[in-house]
Amino acid sequence: MWEANVKLGLMSGPYDLKTNRYCANADRIAGLLNELLVKQESKWLPKLVQTEDAMRAWLDNTPREYVLRLYKFPNASGITVIAIDATIEREAKKRRALASEDLTIKKVQS
């Protein structure tokens, strides 16, 4: 929170919880937000965002050689980005169709 406030130009100075009450407030707000996000994470953040964030973190923390080897496999297998995009769309449509069927079944049973 403190870094966000500093970047926005709302606060300035060193981060010292003992002498700067704004730092203490920012620290408390950050703690409360973290608690809230942990409780509500499954409702607020779709799994897709979590997965993409995890992939980005993996990409940042993995030696480039390993990343390139991973990309090499689908490429060598003839899998193109267009094919991957099309497969993602097909799977998303299947998932949505199954979800709507589940809702229809639940409405009929109610």
- 14-37: per-residue pLDDT in tens? 777 788 788 788 888 888 887 777
Does the residue 15 lie in any domain?
yes
**Which pLDDT value is given to residue 107?**
63
Does the residue 39 lie in any domain?
yes
Count of domains observed in the chain: 1
Residue range of the domain that includes 5: 1-44
Supply the mean pLDDT for the chain.
Answer: 77
pLDDT exceeds 70 at position 85: yes
Does the residue 38 lie in any domain?
yes
User: What's the CA gap between 21 and 65, in Å, rounded?
Assistant: 47
- CA distances 60 to 26, 56, 81, Å, are 28, 6, 21
